[in-house]
Amino acid sequence: MSWKEAAEPVLSRMPVVERPAGHVPFRRKLTWTAGILIVYFFLTNINPFGLAVGQGSDFFGQFRSVLAGSSGSLLQVGIGPIVTASIVLQLLGGANLLGLDTDDPRDQVLYQGLQKLLVVIVTALTAAPMVFTGQFLPADPAVGQALGIGTFGVKSLIFVQIFVGGVLLLFMDEIVSKWGVGSGVGLFIIAAVSQQIVGGFFSFSALGARGFFANWYAIATGGTQLGSPFTSAGLESLLFAPGNILALFTTVFIFGIVVYAESVRVEIPLSHARVKGARGRFPVKLIYASVLPMILVRALQANIQFVGQLLSSQWAGMPAWLGVYGEQGQPTSGLFYYLNPIQQPEQWMWFRGAATGEPWMIAVRLAIDLTFMIVGGAIFAIFWVETTGMGPEATAKQIQNSGMQIPGFRRNPQVVEKVMERYIPQVTVIGGALVGFLAVMANLLGTIGQVSGTGLLLAVSITYKLYEEIAEEQLMEMHPMMRQMFGNE
């Protein structure tokens, strides 16, 4: 008996959001998307019952804009389990260890069931150490005494709530993917990053840290003195806090470069085999795999650091070569220090006196981070293209099924595939490496709202693609015949 036959009774019975039977009107898609977004914001503002609010630490703080969710809320784990499960499945699928054919309806059900099962398992494995170690989500002893269940009982209640929140996020993502516009994961990332950017621009001291406009209002009214920009202290205060000119420049630059990169493409001409005069183009963008593979790279780094945090808190005799952690819970030397990505300018600018470690240690850490992001971005981009039906073979079949062909070539999937192989693999690697490089550069210079460079790249690219999908949906709504032509009916 193969593993598929043994696991089919379980995987085929995993809860699933049913696909719409027919075409979903555009307004209804927007309604579903907006509704899920409201629920997401609602859940990020609910603290688990029994939690000692304000006493825990948010380990995922530096990865929060990528993993979404909110510290100390029901969505504490964010989209981390969904991304981790995707990494595992992509690696197993890339090595052809699963033996699943995604073109077979039966194997599709098994694949989706396996993904859901992995998400549930990873959610439990992520939430359990956060709760039961007491370092990240400490329980309130007063609640345990009042209910008579003790501290362990309160921790169990918190774990159940965090676990349910992670599972809810999985099905919210599925609802958006099937009934809304775009993907739920992308929507949640946009929401998390937008919160940080809006706060970074408009927050005032009464609401916490002052934002960019509040700082410059204080500078303009004389409440804050910058000093002369011709002195080192004045130039530093202008570029960094409170002026934050460098962060503003980086934010605008990343926004512009991503929009420009999304518009750079190789357009392969197409013509309809039966409808004379019907022509089109198949765009192979520079960022062909999108920036979503960057989520996989950063999630892998987050899981590595999560393991280091757990070892440091639970293993008193952890060797120094493995990692030495400071008071803030961040590694200051050892293997986990070098594997920890640089997220802010203060983490590498030793000449300002804020960085941890010697200059050579920071240089090694930066080189590892840059290599990890560039190589990892290219590798995961290849996996992403092959597993999401964007590779040369799958693209050739899509063009063939839509009735289109490349002018001057025989209408044959193998011929179209060979043409696609001239562009897609090379562009995929270049685009993945470029996105990884931009993410590291944005982290080094800093952004408004202390959004990570990866988070900002993701938000801008996902928003751009969401705009394209909305425009396509509107076009399909206005011309129903196009839905039948491209198989969207």
What pLDDT score was predicted for residue 353?
62
Query: For 46, which DSSP code?
Result: -
Between CA 433 and CA 486 the distance in angstroms is 32
Lowest mean pLDDT among 14-28, 268-282, 287-301: 268-282
Please count the other Cβ atoms lying within 10 Å of the Cβ belonging to residue 226: 16
Tell me which amino acid residue 83 is.
Answer: V
Retrieve residue 449's tokens.
């709202």
Lowest mean pLDDT among 24-33, 207-216, 322-331: 207-216
- pTM for this prediction: 0.81
Contact 302, 434 (CB under 8 A): no
pLDDT in tens, 348-376: 877 766 677 788 888 899 999 999 999 99
The residue written with tokens 């008193």 in the block is 316
Contact 346, 444 (CB under 8 A): no
What pLDDT score was predicted for residue 119?
93
pLDDT in tens, 105-121: 888 888 888 989 999 99
The residue written with tokens 């990570």 in the block is 452
Question: CA distances (Å), 8 to each of 111, 146, 171, 459, in order?
Answer: 10, 45, 21, 37
Segments of the chain assigned to CATH 1.10.3370.10? 3-12+26-180, 244-489
**pLDDT > 50? residue 206:** no
Contact 385, 289 (CB under 8 A): yes
pLDDT in tens, 46-56: 999 988 876 66
Question: Which residue, among 175, 141, 242, 154, has the nearest Cα to 39 in the 3D structure?
Answer: 175
**Confidence tier at 342 by pLDDT (50, 70, 90):** confident
Between CA 284 and CA 328 the distance in angstroms is 45
pLDDT in tens, 382-429: 888 887 778 888 888 888 887 777 887 777 888 888 888 888 999 999
Question: Which residue, among 343, 339, 344, 346, has the nearest Cα to 367 in the 3D structure?
Answer: 339
Beta bridge partners of 282: 268
Average pLDDT, the chain: 83
Between CA 198 and CA 44 the distance in angstroms is 17
Tell me which amino acid residue 469 is.
Answer: E
Between CA 395 and CA 417 the distance in angstroms is 7
Question: CA distances (Å), 359 to each of 337, 344, 354, 363, 454, in order?
Answer: 14, 16, 12, 6, 24
What pLDDT score was predicted for residue 167?
94
What pLDDT score was predicted for residue 62?
66
Residues 6+ apart with CB under 8 A from 271: 278, 279, 280, 404, 405, 406, 407
> Alpha helix locations (H) across 12-149?
26-44, 64-67, 80-94, 105-132, 141-147
What pLDDT score was predicted for residue 1?
56
In 318-443 the beta strands, taken as DSSP E runs, fall at 324-325, 331-333, 404-405
Contact 367, 359 (CB under 8 A): no
Class of the CATH domain delimited by 3-12+26-180: mainly alpha
**244-489 has CATH 3.30.470.20 classification:** no
Residues of the chain with pLDDT > 90, as a percent, come to 15
What pLDDT score was predicted for residue 458?
82
Report, as an integer, the average pLDDT of 189-193: 88
Between CA 432 and CA 17 the distance in angstroms is 32
Query: For 486, which DSSP code?
Result: T
Exposed/middle/buried for residue 97 (C-beta within 10 Å: 0-12, 13-18, 19+): exposed
Higher pLDDT, 474 or 428: 428
pLDDT in tens, 324-334: 887 667 788 88
Between CA 403 and CA 463 the distance in angstroms is 30
